[in-house]
Structure 1
Amino acid sequence: MKEKKKRSFPTAFTVLFIILILASGLTYLVPSGKFSRLDYDSQTNEFNITNYNDEVISEPATQETLDKLNIHLKLDKFQDGVIKKPIAIPGTYTQIEQHPQGIMEILKAPIVGVTDTVDIMIFVLILGGIIGLVNKVGAFDAGIAALSKKTKGKEFLLVTLVFFLTTLGGTTFGLAEETIAFYPILMPIFLVSGFDAITCIAAIYMGSSIGTMFSTVNPFSVVIASNAAGISFTSGLIYRIIVLSIGFLITLSYMYWYVKKVSKNPQASLVYEDEKAIHSRFLGNYEKDSTVEFTIRRKLILLVFSLAFIIMIWGVSRGGWWFEEMSALFLAVSLIIMFLSGLTEKDAVNTFISGAADLVGVVLTIGLARSINIVMDNGFISDTLLHYSINLISGMSGSVFAITQLLVFSFLGFFIPSSSGLAVLTMPIMAPLADSVGLSREVVINAYNWGQGLMSFITPTGLILVTLEMAETTFDKWLKYILPLMGIMGVYAIIMLVISTFI
């Protein structure tokens, strides 16, 4: 009797393309609309107001102009460069001619998505080339063998340390996309230490996600949201630190529970069936009792590779770096490693190209994820969804108002995964609603942070599918792992939000 073929979950590409088609469908169902937007021209000291017809009207940059437009912000927020992006003007939503995105727009969107994210793609390809070089000379094999001997019996300290550092990065400088670089170096270490791929993803991805969700001083979320809401980001800082600390411990406890369950029964691992493929990708021909010598050459290569991450973190957090600078750094590192490797010029270059080719699937996922946002932007439905959300919240009060705000920001976070973009779009309109019900605007900031952050655990238009493609893991496996924790953190966020309404 012929054995039935087991049905597998679709790849990241298929999931994203299905969502792209659904997003296109929304542009037929959801009315197109726009808020008028205001931005500040420092050269002329004027406000430029762009209406729904894309007509630009200039007004003098005065406090009177802001008050007239019901924008409850101080003039110096614009003049000092604190608010740089155009902000939505309350009460100006206008329905416009429908802009449905058809078959041609669906097919063009991934192409535009690739061109929009080419900086991230180049970074990932260079990283893949470096990984190829480091693997070729056996530096990873030797380094992992040496490390596994020293960490024996203390393996969970690795999870705790990585989770703590990525949480710290997320809450302070918005560590997110940069974590893509961590998987090639940390995944082999986690696997050799006895953990599965899910645990490595959780330590890195959930670290940055918990950090950004419960942000304390992250300039791309809480700082820009506070400025757009017209309050200081230091307002409520102590409470946010407390909430972050408890959230950190809850998530770490959940990860520990999963690790203990898998250690007792390896088949309980959500990626047990994919273990061979994952080990093949990240460990290659590595064997546990490997006797690969940890030579001076290999130590130098790993040292240069590791220093690159330290420099990258400094550049992103202090030097104003983005992917162009990070790519330049890793390109320099690849040249140094080529020199240290002892390989011939032809062998070194071919190894680099082969390593880059291994991550082509990852870079195409990045472009496809961006295409979903492009379709929704071109369909002009984001402002409409915000308009509906405002109408839903208006008239509510107290704790119900706060909880509904959190749910609304979770909903909007699915369609607008950019934390800074969502803050600038929503805060000038959402924050004053807190005044009308007698609540602090800090409540709205927290609802925005925690709501969008919660959705980032699973948002396909965000970073998770790119991460899973990098880690050779499918979306359904991640959902099985994260949904229980997402429920726990959702309840926790609601409780802490309700408490904040009484402070």
Structure 2
Amino acid sequence: MGNRKKKKKFEFPSAFTVLFIVLILVVVLTYIVPAGAYERLSYVEDGTFIVEDQSGEQSVMPASQETLDDMNVIMDLEKFEDGSINKPVAIPGTYESIEQQPQGILDFIMAPVDGVLDTVDIMVFVLILGGIIGLINKTGTFDAGISALSKKTQGKQFLLVIVVATLTAIGGSTFGLAEETIALYPILLPIFLSAGYDAIIGIAAIYLGAAIGAMFSTVNPFSIVIASDAAGISFKEGLTFRIIGLVLATAIVLIYIYRYARKVKKDPKNSIIYEAKDRIDNKFLEGYDPDNVVKFNWQRVLMLVVFLGAFPIMVWGVASQDWWFGEMAGLFLAVALIIIFLSGLGEKEAVATFLNGAADLIGVVLIIGVARGINIIMDNGMISDTLLFYASGIIENMNKGIFAVVQMILFSILGFFIPSSSGLATLSMPIMAPLADTVNVSRAIVVTAYNWGHGLMQFITPTGLILATLEMVDVTYDKWLKFVLPLMGIIAVFAAIMLGINTLLF
């Protein structure tokens, strides 16, 4: 008995393994869920519509309001003409079953590869950020900043959590802040850790802040605005109610984080990830000694100003100049060059430091690519439209009192399979929004239910950003679920109550 080997303790699989398990399940679904598709309507700048049927055949129609009305696409023509609707729109009443498109072993193997190729712009952005972070770490700038901020916030550390969560919530609500938050972890995690908190609190402040903002979007062009346009209404309809929801939901999140933070501060062993404390501390606080920190000289101050100053420029570019990841990557590449000049590092050392910093985020960028591969399997398997067709059938002529809540639940499910907020909006709104007319409720309620349902799923969906975030911070998925699922339940109940009130009032 004494020689018997000890049973190996179960370890939750890595983010990559979780994604491949999901990928396998989605492949299986392509054999089970019937394939089907709606006809698609696309606008061409020459003043015509292209209608593509289930077999891929295309026909040209005049781009007129009459054409839209004849096809029961309840949208204004000007939304196509000004670029508000720039993706193919599902045409109501055109769903047809098609030949099954099961995805085989070769499709399974190629999906992550295609996913990586499809997300190259995001990857370049993240890798350049990694290089900049490596440079700033090398110069001791982060250590100096942590020390200075720790002294300023002594005894008021949770104030930083409030500020970060509030700002990211505003970013998520106004311009869809998401992947951009990856740059914040190397900056803020060391500050949270040195304040006696754990990495979960850092993820909650940054990721949950942005997620709750995106869920309760107010003027986010990638969700609320495009969904409202696709539903044939102004995004201003329901705006006041969504602002109230955002304020209350953010307060709920902050209270939840505070209760957990207080327990961890009181006794670090209360941390959900206590067994990983040393590993995470070594990763983010390596070489940091509060009693022996380099001084905040003009070079280090200037490097931080240049780096942090890029973020408002990025927000301006995304919000008003139609920037996407290519432009954002270009912005931060310019920042990298300026920081190399300011750092005083030699050419070879600077390049090596930049490359090593980028290499630290290889795992993160590959996870982004693999996650996209899951969406590719869904699209190629032709089951996304089928799920939408079934969902619309469930709520058609449903009781007014539960219509919006059931819609939110259905949009949560659809959000797992279609994580893109704009993609789900243009696909689903032409089908779902008219159903509001059948139960005599405002279409704005459908838009709100879509955004709240889709946003709620982003707390945990492996096809979204959360696994890339956890990989960056070195926290396993099961630990995140243990922390966030109770909050997710609270927010779901809150959103359902708000939707019920909204239905009664409007």
TM-score (norm 1): 0.98
- Could you say what secondary structure the match of 1:168 adopts? helix
2:396 touches 2:438 (CA, 8 Å); kept in 1? no
- Could you say what secondary structure the match of 2:504 adopts? coil
Q: Deviations over 1:108-144 (max 9, x none)?
A: 0111111100111111111111111111111111221
* Alpha-carbon distance in structure 2 between the residues aligned to 1:286 and 1:373: 41
- Name the counterpart of 2:42: 39
Q: How does 1:390-469 map to 2 (within 5 A)?
A: 390-469=392-471
Higher mean displacement: 462-471 or 342-351: 342-351
* Alpha-carbon distance in structure 2 between the residues aligned to 1:291 and 1:64: 70
- Name the counterpart of 1:62: 64
**Residues 312/66 of structure 1: CA separation in 2 closer, same or farther (3 Å cut):** closer
* Alpha-carbon distance in structure 1 between the residues aligned to 2:78 and 2:360: 49
Please say if 1:171 is aligned against 2:163.
Answer: no
Q: How does 1:309-458 map to 2 (within 5 A)?
A: 309-458=311-460
- Could you say what secondary structure the match of 2:60 adopts? strand
Q: CA deviation at 1:3?
A: 4.1
- Could you say what secondary structure the match of 2:61 adopts? strand
Q: CA deviation at 1:502?
A: 1.1
* Alpha-carbon distance in structure 2 between the residues aligned to 1:307 and 1:80: 31
- Name the counterpart of 1:26: 29
* Alpha-carbon distance in structure 2 between the residues aligned to 1:352 and 1:499: 53
How many pairs align? 502
Q: Deviations over 1:469-493 (max 9, x none)?
A: 1111110110001000000000001
* Alpha-carbon distance in structure 1 between the residues aligned to 2:11 and 2:186: 25
* Alpha-carbon distance in structure 2 between the residues aligned to 1:496 and 1:388: 25
Indicate which of 3, 8, 19 corresponds to 1:5. 8
- Could you say what secondary structure the match of 2:460 adopts? coil
What amino acid is aligned across from residue 312 of structure 1 in structure 2? M
Q: Point out where structure 2 has 5 or more consecutive residues left out of the alignment.
A: none
- Name the counterpart of 1:80: 82
* Alpha-carbon distance in structure 2 between the residues aligned to 1:228 and 1:336: 43
* Alpha-carbon distance in structure 2 between the residues aligned to 1:244 and 1:154: 25
* Alpha-carbon distance in structure 2 between the residues aligned to 1:23 and 1:492: 31
Q: CA deviation at 1:202?
A: 0.6
Please say if 1:204 is aligned against 2:206.
Answer: yes
- Name the counterpart of 2:224: 222
Q: Deviations over 1:192-218 (max 9, x none)?
A: 122211111111111111111111111
- Could you say what secondary structure the match of 1:47 adopts? strand
* Alpha-carbon distance in structure 1 between the residues aligned to 2:484 and 2:238: 29
Provide the aligned C-alpha RMSD in A. Answer: 1.2
Q: CA deviation at 1:237?
A: 1.0
What amino acid is aligned across from residue 471 of structure 2 in structure 1? E
* Alpha-carbon distance in structure 2 between the residues aligned to 1:80 and 1:7: 55
**Residues 318/73 of structure 1: CA separation in 2 closer, same or farther (3 Å cut):** closer
Higher mean displacement: 312-321 or 456-465: 312-321
What amino acid is aligned across from residue 501 of structure 1 in structure 2? T
* Alpha-carbon distance in structure 2 between the residues aligned to 1:125 and 1:46: 40
* Alpha-carbon distance in structure 2 between the residues aligned to 1:263 and 1:378: 48
Higher mean displacement: 393-402 or 75-84: 75-84
* Alpha-carbon distance in structure 1 between the residues aligned to 2:419 and 2:104: 23
Q: Percent identity?
A: 62
What amino acid is aligned across from residue 484 of structure 2 in structure 1? I
Indicate which of 262, 265, 268 corresponds to 1:266. 268
* Alpha-carbon distance in structure 2 between the residues aligned to 1:31 and 1:361: 35
- Could you say what secondary structure the match of 1:289 adopts? coil
- Name the counterpart of 1:122: 124
* Alpha-carbon distance in structure 1 between the residues aligned to 2:485 and 2:319: 31
What amino acid is aligned across from residue 267 of structure 1 in structure 2? K
Q: Point out where structure 1 has 5 or more consecutive residues left out of the alignment.
A: none
Please say if 1:136 is aligned against 2:138.
Answer: yes
What amino acid is aligned across from residue 231 of structure 2 in structure 1? A
* Alpha-carbon distance in structure 2 between the residues aligned to 1:164 and 1:451: 21
Higher mean displacement: 478-487 or 277-286: 277-286
2:397 touches 2:435 (CA, 8 Å); kept in 1? no
- Name the counterpart of 2:239: 237
- Name the counterpart of 1:17: 20
2:238 touches 2:445 (CA, 8 Å); kept in 1? no
Stretches of 4+ aligned residues off by more than 6 angstroms: none
* Alpha-carbon distance in structure 2 between the residues aligned to 1:443 and 1:385: 21
What amino acid is aligned across from residue 8 of structure 2 in structure 1? K
* Alpha-carbon distance in structure 1 between the residues aligned to 2:93 and 2:306: 55
- Could you say what secondary structure the match of 2:369 adopts? helix
Q: CA deviation at 1:325?
A: 1.2
1:129 touches 1:356 (CA, 8 Å); kept in 2? yes
1:82 touches 1:227 (CA, 8 Å); kept in 2? yes
Higher mean displacement: 363-372 or 331-340: 331-340
1:145 touches 1:290 (CA, 8 Å); kept in 2? no
* Alpha-carbon distance in structure 1 between the residues aligned to 2:456 and 2:251: 16
